[in-house]
Amino acid sequence: MAKQEDLFKTIVAHAKEYGFVFQSSEIYDGLSAVYDYGQNGVELKNNIKRYWWEAMTMLHDNIVGIDSAIFMHPTIWKASGHVDAFNDPLIDNKDSKKRYRADVLIEEELAKFDDKADKEVAKARKRFGESFDEKLFRETNPKVAELSKKKEELHKRFSDAMNANDLNELRQIILDYEIVDPISGTRNWTDVRQFNLMFKTEMGSTADGAMDVYLRPETAQGIFVNYLNVQKTGRMRIPFGIAQIGKAFRNEIVARQFIFRMREFEQMEMQFFVRPGEELKWFQKWKETRMKWHKTLGLGDEKYRFHDHDKLAHYANAATDIEFQMPFGFKEVEGIHSRTNFDLGQHEKFSGKKIQYFDPELNESYVPYVIETSIGVDRMFLSVFCSCYEEQMLEGGEKRVVLHFPAPLAPVKCAVLPLVKKDGLPEKAKEIQQKLRFDFTCQIDEKDSIGKRYRRQDAIGTPYCITVDHQSLEDNTVTLRHRDSMEQQRVNIDDLESILAEKVSINSLLRKLVE
């Protein structure tokens, strides 16, 4: 575990050193859980968004996009339930004066049972060697069985308390399991209270009678309140979807793990409107479609899993998370929810406007049901970044740090490097870069030895380096160096565009999605 924590710290440091992610307001000592994306980070982030946006809107004839405002009428948040129920249970430690999410403290306690069981398994694997059968061991070992039973007991108590919104019981669990504050090490806890996560501000001057407005905690409501506009102006027929990418804001109590949990973040959400009764079929379909989108990046199929919710929000009739293996464990990156007709129904009630669809095939009107896919851009960024980071020992004892980004997501697609800074090579390099820059983010780098320049490009994940040497002036060829294998091939300059296009365009990913 300590090793993974160290690795994560190294990755965070790398993200800063190479212009991917900076702490917001750093020169003023930073603002907690708010981050800025640097020159390479913004390119990676934009490529992730493009991959999502084009997969949604270009590969589906029945999905269109919108861009709704962050500020919305405050009644929207009353209708959606966010004013009354978008709360986290929080608890303070009286000694450290630190605030925690009570549910997170208990979830961490639950994870300890798994850690202990994993340790037993690791010990046994060492003892039995090749012949070790992990499945059989987990089923029959008394210590592991005892840990699993205890975990189940705690899990049941915890989910009952969460379902019943029983704050006293949450506190009692923390006391019974002797959960201590990681900072003070004491069990001197306050009561558990509810804390609303929405940021509130005022619109208009006070003289006019300012109105309280909220920074949206999800982009989805901007889609729901535009359902009628899009359906009518786009003459959309059910089933159809509306996609949106935009900022969301949550006053998170426990904000940590870098960009995993932020107070200002970005979501890519798609609401898919379907006939009542057909929602679970579409839920399955979207589970498969979204998992394929993730796996097509080639980061490793074993790094993903579904986590079906046992605690469903009152308006949902199915929900699952796509989890990704981060250095700090499997964590949610995307949520897929069958939200029934709750949101549109609530907006119909609160706005007094009829929000219905006349289905010509059924010859009846209804409030459509909704399947939502909701993914955090920043979490997606983090999962790509962490899984692509590698420190390699090369022959001769040299170390290189390389980011194995899928080429279509890489911030810089190619770098043109003149072997020496004389003899007309920089001019030739410039000529190549000027041609390529219309289609690819393409850098030119003349400083330092060629080896150092390769390392710099490896460290930001550039998939191709194009080296211009004396031969280039004679026969119009260059060497094309592949980031992952470090192999070099001699290619004609006129072929560069087509070679790169095939490997680095978002299209290359999109085509795989429809195979």
Shortest distance (Å) from residue 310 CB to ligand GAP: 15
Q: Is 332 in the site for ligand GAP (CB under 6 A)?
A: yes
User: Out of 23, 47, 267, 296, which residue is the one contacting ligand GAP (CB under 6 A)?
Assistant: 267
Residue 394 gets which letter from DSSP?
Answer: P
Which residues, 6 or more positions from 178, have their beta carbon under 8 angstroms from its beta carbon? 187
From 77-85, 281-289, 332-340, 447-455, span contacting ligand GAP (CB under 6 A): 332-340
User: Out of 161, 179, 220, 466, which residue is the one contacting ligand GAP (CB under 6 A)?
Assistant: 220
User: Out of 170, 228, 230, 375, which residue is the one contacting ligand GAP (CB under 6 A)?
Assistant: 375
Q: Cβ closer to ligand GAP: 173 or 220?
A: 220
Taking the C-alpha atoms of residue 144 and residue 164, their distance in angstroms, rounded to an integer, is 30
Q: Is 331 in the site for ligand GAP (CB under 6 A)?
A: no
Q: Cβ closer to ligand GAP: 323 or 445?
A: 323
Using CB under 6 A, which residues numbered 6 to 35 contact ligand GAP? none
User: Out of 265, 369, 381, 389, which residue is the one contacting ligand GAP (CB under 6 A)?
Assistant: 265
Q: Cβ closer to ligand GAP: 372 or 458?
A: 372
Q: Cβ closer to ligand GAP: 189 or 293?
A: 293
Q: Is 469 in the site for ligand GAP (CB under 6 A)?
A: no
Which residues, 6 or more positions from 25, have their beta carbon under 8 angstroms from its beta carbon? 31, 34
Q: Cβ closer to ligand GAP: 171 or 250?
A: 250
Beta bridge partners of 88: 195
Sign of CA dihedral 320, 325, 330, 331: negative
- Residue 233 tokens read as 């102006």
Pairing of the two strands 369-376 and 329-338:
antiparallel
Which residues, 6 or more positions from 119, have their beta carbon under 8 angstroms from its beta carbon? none
Q: Cβ closer to ligand GAP: 45 or 250?
A: 250
Shortest distance (Å) from residue 337 CB to ligand GAP: 6
Taking the C-alpha atoms of residue 137 and residue 140, their distance in angstroms, rounded to an integer, is 5
- Radius of gyration of the chain measured on its C-alpha atoms: 26
Q: Cβ closer to ligand GAP: 368 or 463?
A: 368
Shortest distance (Å) from residue 262 CB to ligand GAP: 4
Helices of type H across 296-412: 342-351, 377-388
Pairing of the two strands 442-444 and 399-403:
unpaired
Q: Is 483 in the site for ligand GAP (CB under 6 A)?
A: no
Residue 3 gets which letter from DSSP?
Answer: H
Asked if 323 and 308 count as a contact pair (C-beta separation under 8 A), the reply is no
Asked if 367 and 355 count as a contact pair (C-beta separation under 8 A), the reply is yes
- Residue 104 tokens read as 């997170």
From 187-195, 341-349, 354-362, 370-378, span contacting ligand GAP (CB under 6 A): 370-378
Q: Is 418 in the site for ligand GAP (CB under 6 A)?
A: no
From 36-44, 135-143, 302-310, 329-337, span contacting ligand GAP (CB under 6 A): 329-337
Q: Cβ closer to ligand GAP: 83 or 401?
A: 83
Q: Cβ closer to ligand GAP: 181 or 218?
A: 218
Q: Is 262 in the site for ligand GAP (CB under 6 A)?
A: yes
Q: Cβ closer to ligand GAP: 181 or 269?
A: 269
Q: Is 279 in the site for ligand GAP (CB under 6 A)?
A: no
User: Out of 54, 92, 95, 252, which residue is the one contacting ligand GAP (CB under 6 A)?
Assistant: 252
Q: Give the count of alpha carbons within 13 A of 425, CB side only.
A: 20
**Residue at shortest CB range from ligand GAP:** 376
Sign of CA dihedral 158, 160, 165, 169: negative
Residue 213 gets which letter from DSSP?
Answer: E
User: Out of 335, 368, 408, 426, which residue is the one contacting ligand GAP (CB under 6 A)?
Assistant: 335
Q: Is 250 in the site for ligand GAP (CB under 6 A)?
A: yes
Cis peptide before 239 (omega within 30 of 0): yes
Please give the sequence-ordered ranges of beta strands (E in DSSP) within 97-136, or none if there are none: 99-101
Q: How many residues does the chain have?
A: 515
From 118-126, 199-207, 289-297, 367-375, span contacting ligand GAP (CB under 6 A): 367-375
DSSP per position, 250-300 = ---SS--TGGGS-SEEEEEEEEEEE-TT-HHHHHHHHHHHHHHHHHTT-S-
Shortest distance (Å) from residue 294 CB to ligand GAP: 12
Give me the residues that bind ligand GAP (CB under 6 A), please: 218, 220, 250, 252, 261-262, 265, 267, 269, 332-335, 372, 374-376, 378-379
